[in-house]
Chain A
Amino acid sequence: MNTRSTILAVMCALLMLTACAKPPTEQILAAEKAVTEAQQSGASTYVADEYAKVEGTLAALKKEVSDQDGKLALFRDYGKAEQLATTAKSEAERVKAGATKKKEEAKAAAVQAQQVAQEAVTATLALVAKAPTGKDRAALESIKADAEALKASLNQVQMAIDTADYPAAQTKAKAIQEKSQAVSREIETALAKIGKGKPSAAKKT
């Protein structure tokens, strides 16, 4: 009788334990939060493949929970779901860190390229300002228009940085720098030529 009671008690305890298996809600929420934060950090842009895998793990987690939810309470086991939630969270955090690092690197590269472009444009505008007034200036008019266009284009670099489109900002800044250097060389050549002739007085026309 004693033995029977013990077996019954153990069976009841086991039944209660298994019947009370519940999904790891907190871990799932924590994983979802980590994935959202990774997405917000720019992971889908800067570490797109890794982010897609994290999303895949989250989807697997949701499916696992759904599969377990569909079973009879007695047979539910959320152990695998718990494991997936832990993996999804830790992977999402790693991906977020990677994305943040890459984004910062891209921003730094864009800002540096912007500074270099600004310096190049400033140098070009300084050369334009050196150009003589009067008749000889005519040859430099189109170059001056180019220099002004380069100055205006710097705004587009800033706009790209402001919208966090760092690849566009960097390529635009580099293009401005290259063009600015080319325009500077043109001005220097024009100035050298003009220097050979005598400067002329300003004249209305």
Chain B
Amino acid sequence: MPGHCRRITSVLLGWGALALASSLTGCVEAAPQDAIEAVENIDRDLMELRAAEFSPNDYAQFAHQWMALKSRVQADEDLIRWPWEPNDLEIALRLLQEEGSHTVARLAKERESLRHSAENKIAQVEGRFRMMTLQVSAIDSRLVLGQKPVETDLLMKQAHAFYEQGQYDRSLDASDRAAQNLATQAVLLSNELGRYANRDRISHWQQMAKDTIAWSRIHRTSAIVVSKADRVLTLYRNGQKVLSYPVRLGFNGIREKRYQGDGATPEGRYQISSKRGQGQTQYYRALVLDYPNEEDRRRYRLERKTGEIPASRAIGGQIEIHGVENELMAQTLGCIMLDNSQMALLFDRVNKGTPVTIVGALHEQNSVAQTLAMLGVQREET
């Protein structure tokens, strides 16, 4: 009897142990908390990288897998598993964690690379913009560019703003557009001022200057040659150089004069038509030129006819070589301006009828040609 009881007890204990073991192993979590948290952390990392904005396909792929697994995690039937069942959910979570980690690492690298590109592009375009501004200012050709410099400036400000916001792709886009704008400016300058780099045109200007100097020698009198690119006025007497003074031109002086109010300084052969001494001019002393000459009128008529000059625009006049009324004046409306002391010396050495030849440039390596060459090189580099 006691032996029988012991057998019953041991059978009961065996069944109890089996039941306990089964319940313990059977209640194993199908989705371990640490695996879920690891994927949640990956999601957080991707959100911090703004993956959904910058690499939507990558994030969508992750999100789709994550949401599919999340729905399984939340479903009751997947919460527990039998010990003999493979834990597909955990395997899938671990796999997503691994793939997600790779995606985070790759996107972080790509993002840093994009940030670096945006930073470099800003520095590159800004450097070029600064250089162009200085060059353009040095040859007084700001107005040739119209609204372009402001457009470039605004684009660069936008590039900075997007960079600060971490929107590196948009920052790059704004910098690219600014670079294109700078290229357009270089083309505008080249189209408008290309004659300063044109050998035939320079030869023509050189010939004009030679003729004027020869005239001075033959007639044993004075003659003036003004080079716009160099901003220099030279007085000749009997074919010999007597003096040379720096001059200031119109606010749009580097251009060829076409009509009244354009701020350009004319190019051509002129004469002093009258001398205005103290009390006769607001500009200390003035030598009035006979602009427009016949060539100016012919060109004006042609451009009016072709519509290149609006009908409301007159040809203009009263182009003078004059002194300074206000020491703060940097430019004129198209005249040639000298410092008063130099104007006084010049005024006394010329007469009514003295030829004044105004040319764009007298040598190929003039400041405008050099600027155009430099901007052309930069355009190729950017």
- Chain B CB within 8 A of A34 CB: no
Q: Which of A49, A139, A145 contacts B47 (CB 8 A)?
A: A49
List residues 140-196 of chain A with CB under 8 A from any CB of chain B: 141-142, 145-146, 148-150, 152-153, 167-168, 171-172, 174-176, 178-179, 193-194, 196
A52 touches B60 (CB 8 A): yes
Contact A57/B71 with A52-B63, A141-B251, A174-B157 known, Cβ cut-off 8 Å:
yes
A49 touches B326 (CB 8 A): no
Interface residues of A (CB under 8 A from B): 44, 48-49, 51-53, 55-57, 59-60, 63-64, 80, 83-84, 87, 135-139, 141-142, 145-146, 148-150, 152-153, 167-168, 171-172, 174-176, 178-179, 193-194, 196-198, 200-201, 203-205
- Secondary structure at chain A's binding surface: helix, strand, loop or mixed? helix
- Chain A CB within 8 A of B376 CB: no
- Chain A CB within 8 A of B161 CB: yes
Stretch at the interface among B28-36, B118-126, B317-325: B317-325
Q: Which of B47, B150, B252, B329 contacts A150 (CB 8 A)?
A: B150
B51 touches A49 (CB 8 A): yes
- Chain A CB within 8 A of B312 CB: no
Contact A59/B68 with A175-B161, A205-B261 known, Cβ cut-off 8 Å:
yes
Contacting residues, chain B, for A137 (C-beta < 8 A): 333
B74 to chain A, nearest CB (A): 8
- Chain A CB within 8 A of B184 CB: no
A49 touches B329 (CB 8 A): no
B328 touches A194 (CB 8 A): yes
> Roughly how many angstroms separate A175 CA and B159 CA in the complex, as a whole number?
10
A152 to chain B, nearest CB (A): 6
Q: Given A142-B251, A171-B162, 16 more contacts at CB 8 Å?
A: A48-B56, A49-B51, A52-B63, A60-B67, A138-B332, A139-B331, A142-B143, A145-B146, A146-B149, A146-B150, A172-B154, A175-B153, A175-B155, A197-B326, A200-B282, A201-B282
B316 touches A56 (CB 8 A): no
Q: How many residues on the B side are at the interface (Cβ–Cβ under 8 A)?
A: 59
Contact A80/B333 with A59-B64, A167-B167, A205-B317 known, Cβ cut-off 8 Å:
no
* Listed A/B pairs (16) with beta-carbon separation below 8 Å: A49-B59, A56-B65, A60-B71, A135-B325, A136-B329, A138-B329, A153-B150, A167-B162, A167-B165, A172-B154, A172-B158, A178-B157, A197-B327, A198-B326, A205-B318, A205-B333
The closest CB in chain B to the CB of A58 belongs to B67
Contacting residues, chain A, for B263 (C-beta < 8 A): 138, 141, 205
- Chain A CB within 8 A of B142 CB: yes
Q: Which of A135, A152, A205 contacts B316 (CB 8 A)?
A: A205
Contact A56/B60 with A51-B52, A174-B161 known, Cβ cut-off 8 Å:
yes
B149 touches A205 (CB 8 A): no
- Chain A CB within 8 A of B200 CB: no
B79 to chain A, nearest CB (A): 13
